[in-house]
């Protein structure tokens, strides 16, 4: 599989996603630009990490202006502060496409150009581009403290932004800077004498170089990406040696094991998803992508193995990954505590990068199912409905009293924050949402089969004149499961359209050109011949409410039920339910009524569950069992998980106590 | 109430406690001396904090020898490393009393004298005694960095040891050193010009000075203790000002809030038990003691208020206190997570200091109940049956996979450690167990009523010729509840004996001189006239197994049952039960059979519960509810909580899933 035959022009028309796209283009990205440019006071709830140096400002555009000689001043922020601008630039570049949908992107475009100009001005003669090092450290320190320096991470994000800008606009201005960056890296890293023979502590350059290869066709970038993958974890002494040689050190308070950096063993030997979740996932996504581009079986196997481990044992029902706040990391199989979870927004975003690449290797419904789960739950939970406040951590159980009163849970914010000291998540949300069009289709190697694997209404033209229009009836997806693919094949090419049957849809009906058909589900897809001039595929998915149990391996979920409907996981919030929520319960066959409420939370399905509330006749802290506990009938209100924390602050839970 | 009419000579004869006492005297204290003297390699499991500076040795006796001029070298260890020796000295001084019970304490006595000689040699001319400062820092730094310096904490522990040594031996050698220490402190601290006007970051000196007052009758030590209590928290800037003035700083990696130091508000205004649990409890115990000695109502009210808050809302069923690893601290009301708990052994020990003092103010069964709970559960859990390995943290739920695989739970050791980098707990266990005789009786102010509030078999002579012998029938307490008090009053004094009726004993029978009597239970006690020459009080407590529920406020225990019998809380261990233990369940009326097994774990009651094990027909990580889960009959084996982790390493849980 390749993405060479990728769709030329995907126009998202989905009501649900158009709202998110337009909100991002019109509200979130302008807000983020102002934050990066120190133009807005940002509101950060107690507990949110902010202001490494006490600053209330991002300083990231200022760093670039200083490095570009446009302003006097000193560097401020994280070593990787530049990436906040790079990721914004990537997101905003994608966003320029929304001009096609009638949005005014003039101001955004001006800021895009301003950012590129600043990177251009900040770039050193040899291509080096990292304002932390340029402003704060002598040149001989470069690439000498890679445990925490984030130099390649920083440059990788610029490369990704440049590729995006080039792909959207056709302009080579940013791409030229990126190629100079890549040249600098290629010059400094490798097996040759005098070259640095080890990786950056934070993977990212691997994915970036692979994308640069795709954009430019320059094979050496692909080889360099593969080199960074192959060198990773082969020399566990590498960072220590750099320290010992007097390399610059950062975050000396943090004592993270090599596993955190995915540097404890060769990545291609790794059996489990371990360490810092975003580091592991960026790397695994690159392993998958480079493996496919090089047809390297060891890489392909590694990508499959780690994905399987995550999906089967290390992912929450919302798609959240990373069970542990310490090191923002994976922990161990089936350790999925709902109230301690990290579930970084960036990690859910990275799962989409990873899933997309696996689909390109071999399209499978199971992978697309996970991508959908992440999209509608783990990712969207990270952003307030208006796009201007963010979660870094996405819990499945939250209690403001616990977050304030028990430092072990202080990372679980119960209000989204206006910005972060380490502001990786806001722009990652931005670049995912504005590039959603790239996640809807996978085309087979021979170009004949188009896998239409996401139920996001759109109209898409492929380069061979083939078009697919996906429309949705009723309240539209994800609220209704009535989906039609109008396929047009004016040139009568030998074409097939493969439509995903989600694992969650117990039943479905499929009609082709108005006739009911029964087709085998292969790897999660039904494949419909589309060689006629027009083909209409009508799929109706089973959107009935599901009560879900976790495996008995998952200690945290024993005796609990979750509720889902279509791709959406539901939760209870205290604003709708009296609380404490842990007293509320429901049985596996509880009656549930559902209704779409267009005015609530920008339009959501709301569930009313006939449940109960636990009551006790006594109030002692501990007492010998005497009078039994009782269950009082109560109606539980549930809303989509992604929409939580958009009203009053309070308790939230996904998993609900199961009653008989 | 006072303890002036305290028992002269308490001889513990209890089979259960004699074993612990002799083990401590013959095994634990000699082992600890060797550890302090760097004579044994100590075995520390992965995860146990050890070796701040990479050392595998305590170095604490060496520090004293260096300071005393007996050895060359440099200081090593925690700033408060001396306290390991002081607390050992206190424990060993009490242990000398076991000579009366026929133990050979010659070697112990030689080490006691050696330790005193070293402290004597290490003491500065002005009375200052802290080897960290004497060896590592210039004299002008003394008392200038009290946030973390632990100087008064260190000297306080020496004072306590000296008082103990004096009380047991009558020798004033250690007491003289202690008085010089107190003089030095009195000279340096106070409201006068040039004096330091603030407290040590770690309370302890308050309790020590109050004890020094009791031992010497010197009122100024009591006043100085009261001054330290009253100054606490009145100036939240105090530590910052010392830092700003160039005072020495320690633990600069730790950024603890003032609440941690119990310095965020005046202690006498504090409404909730907050901050570092041991700091709060040492201080609260002193507030209680000094309040009683000064008859200071505000202090007495504070002591009551904080105790009530702990017992009603912040204490686990095992007596463990401190819910949070971050800051080894209390968290918030009813936040009692079983798998994240800190429950430091020292905190449970401190609860006994605190409870003893509250009893001296006003004897109440509720307080003595808590003391008993701590003794038989929270405290004893801290030590291996042979006395040579220790828990710092006492969880109510443990899983080796979680402790190794999720850093948030790394503090939950699933093997006791041979020693600690911060070795506060081993010697605290030692000094509590060897002074257990001081926790059995409280005598009323007028000397007429003796409260015999602990069921520890003993024979005790009071100074007025009055004697009480407590004997226990059957397998003896805590396994049997058949207890007899043989009271002898040869001088026919006006005397009463008050016997506690534990809150956990639903029914009991009471006979006086062979006749059944019904007496009112007042404040948890029945009071029996003992003015005759001989009075025999025969109490039979209800030792039937209790299934216990927690309040519905306690989120962590919803849907769970604990099991207790008499004062003993039970637990399940994987060595007896297949596991994972979270699949095991029991109903509130499950049949339980019990048997005393003399050869198991040095003699314990074992419970066999007719329970069940949850089974699932499928194995998906998440699945829509289809086939119901089933319960397979299973017999659960439970052992006393204190005896866990004396066999194979594995899962443990106190709270068990409740089934219908």
Measured CA to CA, the distance from residue B331 to residue A464 in angstroms comes to 64
pLDDT, average across residues B297-301: 98
Give the gyration radius of chain B's Cα atoms. 25
Looking at the complex, does the CB of residue A52 fall below 8 Å from at least one CB of chain B? no
Q: Single out the residue of A513, A369, A380 nearest to residue A453, CA to CA.
A: A369
Length of chain B measured in residues: 660
Interval A63-72: pLDDT, tens: 999 999 999 9
pLDDT, average across residues A496-511: 96
Looking at the complex, does the CB of residue B317 fall below 8 Å from at least one CB of chain A? yes
Measured CA to CA, the distance from residue A303 to residue A285 in angstroms comes to 7
Q: What is the largest CA-CA distance in chain A?
A: 80
Q: Of A21-30, A348-357, B459-468, give the lowest mean pLDDT range.
A: B459-468
Nearest to A555 among B551, B580, B624 (CB): B580
Place of tokens 């209690």: A399
Please list, residue by residue across A372-406, b when 16 or more beta carbons sit within 10 angstroms of its beta carbon and e when fewer do. bbbbbbbbbbbbbbebbbbbbbbbbbbbbbbbbbb
Looking at the complex, does the CB of residue A329 fall below 8 Å from at least one CB of chain B? yes
A256 pLDDT exceeds 50? yes
Looking at the complex, does the CB of residue B254 fall below 8 Å from at least one CB of chain A? no
Q: Of A460-469, B112-121, B346-355, B481-490, give the lowest mean pLDDT range.
A: A460-469
Model pLDDT, residue B55: 54
Check B160, B214, B328, B476 and give the catalytic one.
B328
How would DSSP label each residue in A440-476?
A: SEEE-TTS-EEEE-S---EEEE-TTS-EEEEEE-TT-
**Same domain membership, residue A271 and residue A390:** yes
Model pLDDT, residue B47: 66
Backbone angle region of B107, left / alpha / beta, with phi > 0 → left and psi within -120 to 50 → alpha: alpha
Measured CA to CA, the distance from residue B12 to residue A656 in angstroms comes to 52
Q: What percent of chain B has pLDDT over 70?
A: 97
Report CA-CA distances (Å) from B122 to B110, B118, B138: 18, 6, 15
Question: Mutating which of B559, B564, B659 best tests the A interface, going by the most A Cβ atoms within 10 A?
Answer: B559
**Same domain membership, residue B374 and residue B508:** no
A243 contacts A249 by C-beta, under 8 angstroms: yes
End-to-end CA gap in chain A: 49
**Same domain membership, residue B586 and residue B472:** no
**Same domain membership, residue A503 and residue A392:** no
**Same domain membership, residue B385 and residue B316:** yes
B225 contacts B285 by C-beta, under 8 angstroms: no
Tell me which chain B residue has its CA closest to the CA of residue A555: B582
A586 contacts A612 by C-beta, under 8 angstroms: yes
DSSP β-bridge partners for residue A657:
A560, A585
Report CA-CA distances (Å) from A220 to A182, A187, A224, A283, A564: 10, 11, 6, 19, 46
Tell me which chain A residue has its CA closest to the CA of residue B340: A408
Q: Is residue B416 part of a domain?
A: no
A2 pLDDT exceeds 60? no
Would you place residue A48 in the very low, low, confident or very high pLDDT band (cuts 50, 70, 90)?
Answer: low
Q: Contact B546/A624, CB-based, under 8 Å?
A: yes
Place of tokens 């996603």: A17
Looking at the complex, does the CB of residue A276 fall below 8 Å from at least one CB of chain B? no
Tokens of A516: 């009911």
**Same domain membership, residue B245 and residue B294:** no
pTM above 0.90, yes or no: yes
Q: Contact A558/B506, CB-based, under 8 Å?
A: no
- A217 to chain B nearest CA, in Å? 41
Check A184, A424, A425, A645 and give the catalytic one.
A424
Give the CA angle between residues A480, A570, A14 to the nearest 5°: 35
Measured CA to CA, the distance from residue B290 to residue A233 in angstroms comes to 60
Q: Single out the residue of A94, A112, A220, A202 nearest to residue A155, CA to CA.
A: A202
Model pLDDT, residue B53: 45
Would you place residue B7 in the very low, low, confident or very high pLDDT band (cuts 50, 70, 90)?
Answer: low
Total tally of structural domains belonging to chain B? 4
Model pLDDT, residue A203: 98
Measured CA to CA, the distance from residue B520 to residue B392 in angstroms comes to 41
Which residues have C-beta within 8 Å of that of residue A370, sequence separation ≥ 6?
A311, A315, A319, A351, A355
Q: Is residue B80 part of a domain?
A: yes
A49 pLDDT exceeds 90? no
B638 contacts B570 by C-beta, under 8 angstroms: yes
Tokens of B24: 């401590």
Q: Is residue B420 part of a domain?
A: no
Q: Is residue B5 part of a domain?
A: no
End-to-end CA gap in chain B: 49
DSSP β-bridge partners for residue B549:
A623
Looking at the complex, does the CB of residue B532 fall below 8 Å from at least one CB of chain A? no
Give the end of a domain, one of B372, B393, B414. B393
490-519 in B: which are within 8 Å (CB) of A?
504, 506
**Same domain membership, residue A636 and residue A558:** yes
Question: Mutating which of A552, A567, A589, A657 best tests the B interface, going by the most B Cβ atoms within 10 A?
Answer: A552
B227 contacts B290 by C-beta, under 8 angstroms: no
CATH code: domain of residue B534: 2.60.40
Model pLDDT, residue B463: 84
pLDDT, average across residues B63-82: 97
pLDDT, average across residues A245-263: 95
ipTM (interface pTM): 0.93
Measured CA to CA, the distance from residue B62 to residue B553 in angstroms comes to 50
Q: How confident is the prediction for chain B on average, in pLDDT?
A: 95
B328 carries an active-site annotation? yes
Looking at the complex, does the CB of residue B320 fall below 8 Å from at least one CB of chain A? no
Model pLDDT, residue B6: 55
Strand segments, DSSP code E, in B370-502 are 397-398, 441-443, 449-452, 458-462, 467-472, 482-488, 496-500
Check B184, B424, B571, B645 and give the catalytic one.
B424
**Same domain membership, residue A420 and residue A568:** no
User: B172, exposed or middle or buried, with CB in 10 Å at 0-12, 13-18, 19+?
Assistant: middle
Q: Of A39-48, A299-308, B106-115, B459-468, give the lowest mean pLDDT range.
A: A39-48
How many other β-carbons are positioned within 10 Å of the β-carbon of residue B387?
A: 23
Measured CA to CA, the distance from residue B213 to residue B236 in angstroms comes to 29
Looking at the complex, does the CB of residue A8 fall below 8 Å from at least one CB of chain B? no
How would DSSP label each residue in B28-56?
A: IHHHHHHHHTT-SPPP--TTS---TTS-S
Q: Is residue B230 part of a domain?
A: yes
**Same domain membership, residue B553 and residue B446:** no
Give the CA angle between residues B200, B204, B205 to the nearest 5°: 70
Model pLDDT, residue B40: 84
Tell me which chain A residue has its CA closest to the CA of residue B397: A555
Model pLDDT, residue A57: 83
Would you place residue A1 in the very low, low, confident or very high pLDDT band (cuts 50, 70, 90)?
Answer: very low
Q: What is the 3-state secondary structure (H, E, C) of B57-110?
A: CCCHHHHHHHHCCCCCCCCCCCCCCHHHHHHHHHHHHHHHHHHHHCCCCHHHHH
Tokens of B229: 């209590």
Give the end of a domain, one of A487, A509, A541. A541
A134 carries an active-site annotation? no
Q: Which residues on B lie below 8 Å from A325 (Cβ)?
A: 408
- Domain limits for position B200: 42-249
Would you place residue B42 in the very low, low, confident or very high pLDDT band (cuts 50, 70, 90)?
Answer: confident
Q: Which residues on A lie below 8 Å from B551 (Cβ)?
A: 616, 619-622
User: Computed from CA positions of residues A271, A272, A273, A274, in that sequence, does the dihedral angle turn out positive or negative?
Assistant: negative
pLDDT, average across residues A304-324: 98
User: A311, exposed or middle or buried, with CB in 10 Å at 0-12, 13-18, 19+?
Assistant: buried
Q: Is residue B452 part of a domain?
A: yes
Give the CA angle between residues A103, A108, A112 to the nearest 5°: 140
Q: Of A368-377, B392-401, B518-527, B616-625, give the lowest mean pLDDT range.
A: B616-625
Measured CA to CA, the distance from residue B455 to residue B21 in angstroms comes to 16
Q: Which residues on B lie below 8 Å from A547 (Cβ)?
A: 624-625
Tell me which chain A residue has its CA closest to the CA of residue B548: A624
Q: Is residue A3 part of a domain?
A: no
Q: Which residues on B lie below 8 Å from A331 (Cβ)?
A: 402, 405-407
Looking at the complex, does the CB of residue A332 fall below 8 Å from at least one CB of chain B? yes
Model pLDDT, residue B371: 98
Q: Contact B622/A312, CB-based, under 8 Å?
A: no
Tell me which chain B residue has its CA closest to the CA of residue A335: B402
Q: Is residue B26 part of a domain?
A: no
Measured CA to CA, the distance from residue B325 to residue A559 in angstroms comes to 27
Q: Which residues on A lie below 8 Å from B337 (Cβ)?
A: 406
Give the CA angle between residues A138, A139, A145 to the nearest 5°: 85
Q: Single out the residue of A242, A288, A246, A245 nearest to residue A261, CA to CA.
A: A242
CA A176 to centroid of chain Cα atoms? 28
User: How many CB pairs (< 8 A) connect A and B?
Assistant: 156
Strand segments, DSSP code E, in A369-466 are 397-398, 441-443, 449-452, 458-461
Give the end of a domain, one of A439, A474, A491. A439
Model pLDDT, residue B52: 45
**Same domain membership, residue A560 and residue A521:** no
How many other β-carbons are positioned within 10 Å of the β-carbon of residue A27?
A: 15
Q: Contact A549/B406, CB-based, under 8 Å?
A: no
**Same domain membership, residue B520 and residue B385:** no
B51 pLDDT exceeds 70? no
pLDDT, average across residues B58-71: 97
Q: Contact B558/A315, CB-based, under 8 Å?
A: no
Measured CA to CA, the distance from residue B4 to residue A658 in angstroms comes to 58
CATH code: domain of residue A190: 1.50.10.10
Q: Which residues on A lie below 8 Å from B325 (Cβ)?
A: 408
Q: How confident is the prediction for chain A on average, in pLDDT?
A: 95
Interval A221-232: pLDDT, tens: 999 999 999 999
Q: What percent of chain B has pLDDT over 90?
A: 93
**Same domain membership, residue B310 and residue B382:** yes
Q: Which residues on B lie below 8 Å from A550 (Cβ)?
A: 621-622
Map residue B640 onto helix, strand or coil.
strand
Q: What is the 3-state secondary structure (H, E, C) of B211-258?
A: HHHHHHCCHHHHHHHHHHHHHCCCCCCHHHHHHHCCCCCCCCCCCCCH
Report CA-CA distances (Å) from B588 to A87, A658, B654: 57, 18, 15
């Amino acid at each position: 599989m390749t993405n060479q035959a990728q769709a030329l022009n995907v126009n998202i028309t989905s009501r649900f996603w158009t709202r998110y796209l337009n909100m991002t283009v019109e509200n979130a990205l302008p807000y983020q630009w102002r934050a990066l440019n120190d133009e807005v006071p940002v509101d950060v709830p107690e507990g949110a990490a902010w202001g490494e140096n006490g600053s209330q400002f991002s300083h990231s555009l200022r760093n670039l202006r200083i490095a570009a000689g446009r302003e006097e001043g000193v560097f401020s922020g994280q070593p990787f502060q530049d990436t906040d601008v790079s990721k914004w630039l990537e997101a905003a570049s994608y966003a320029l496409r929304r001009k096609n949908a009638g949005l005014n992107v003039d101001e955004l475009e001006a800021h895009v150009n301003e950012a590129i100009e600043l990177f251009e001005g900040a770039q050193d003669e040899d291509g080096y581009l990292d304002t932390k090092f340029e402003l704060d450290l002598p040149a001989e320190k470069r690439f000498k403290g890679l445990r925490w320096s984030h130099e390649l991470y920083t440059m990788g994000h610029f490369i990704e932004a440049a590729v995006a800008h080039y792909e959207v606009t056709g302009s080579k201005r940013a791409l030229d800077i990126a190629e100079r960056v890549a040249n600098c890296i290629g010059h400094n890293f490798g097996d040759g004498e005098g070259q640095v023979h080890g990786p950056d502590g934070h993977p990212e350059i691997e994915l970036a170089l692979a994308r640069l290869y795709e954009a430019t066709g320059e094979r050496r970038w692909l080889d360099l990406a593969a080199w960074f993958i192959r060198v990773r974890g082969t020399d566990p002494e590498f960072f220590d040696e750099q320290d010992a040689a007097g390399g610059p050190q950062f975050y000396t308070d943090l004592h993270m094991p090599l596993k955190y950096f995915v540097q404890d063993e060769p990545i291609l030997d790794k059996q489990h998803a371990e360490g810092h979740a975003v580091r592991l996932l960026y790397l695994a996504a690159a392993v998958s992508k480079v493996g496919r581009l090089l047809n390297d079986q060891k890489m392909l196997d590694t990508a499959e193995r780690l994905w399987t481990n995550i999906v089967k044992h290390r992912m929450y029902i919302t798609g959240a990954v990373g069970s542990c706040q310490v090191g923002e990391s994976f922990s161990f199989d089936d350790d999925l505590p709902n109230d301690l979870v990290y579930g970084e927004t960036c990690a859910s975003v990275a799962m989409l990068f990873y899933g997309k690449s696996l689909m390109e290797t071999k399209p499978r419904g199971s992978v697309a199912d996970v991508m959908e789960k992440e999209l509608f739950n783990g990712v969207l939970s990270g952003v307030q409905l208006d796009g201007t406040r963010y979660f870094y951590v996405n819990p499945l159980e939250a209690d403001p009293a616990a977050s304030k009163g028990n430092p072990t849970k202080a990372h679980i914010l119960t209000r989204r924050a206006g910005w972060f000291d380490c502001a990786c998540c806001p722009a990652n949300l931005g670049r995912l949402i504005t590039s959603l069009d790239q996640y809807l289709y996978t085309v087979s190697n021979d170009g004949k089969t188009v896998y239409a694997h996401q139920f996001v209404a759109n109209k898409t033209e492929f380069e061979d004149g083939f078009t697919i229009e996906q429309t949705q009836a009723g309240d539209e997806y994800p609220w209704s499961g009535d989906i039609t693919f109008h396929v047009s094949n004016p040139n009568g090419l030998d074409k097939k359209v493969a439509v995903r049957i989600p694992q969650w849809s117990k039943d479905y009906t499929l009609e082709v050109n108005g006739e009911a058909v029964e087709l085998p589900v292969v790897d999660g897809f039904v494949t419909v011949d589309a060689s006629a001039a027009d083909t209409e595929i009508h799929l109706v998915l089973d959107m009935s409410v599901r009560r879900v149990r976790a495996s008995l391996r998952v200690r945290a979920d024993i005796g609990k039920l979750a509720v889902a409907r279509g791709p959406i996981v539901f939760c209870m919030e205290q604003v709708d339910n009296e609380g404490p929520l842990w007293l509320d319960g429901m049985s596996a066959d509880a009656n549930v009524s559902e209704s779409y409420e267009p005015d609530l939370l920008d339009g959501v399905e709301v569930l009313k569950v006939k449940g109960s509330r636990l009551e006790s006749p006594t109030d002692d802290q501990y007492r010998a069992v005497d009078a039994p506990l009782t269950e009082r009938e109560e109606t539980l209100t549930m809303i989509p998980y992604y929409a939580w924390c958009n009203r009053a602050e309070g308790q939230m839970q996904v998993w609900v106590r199961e009653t008989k």
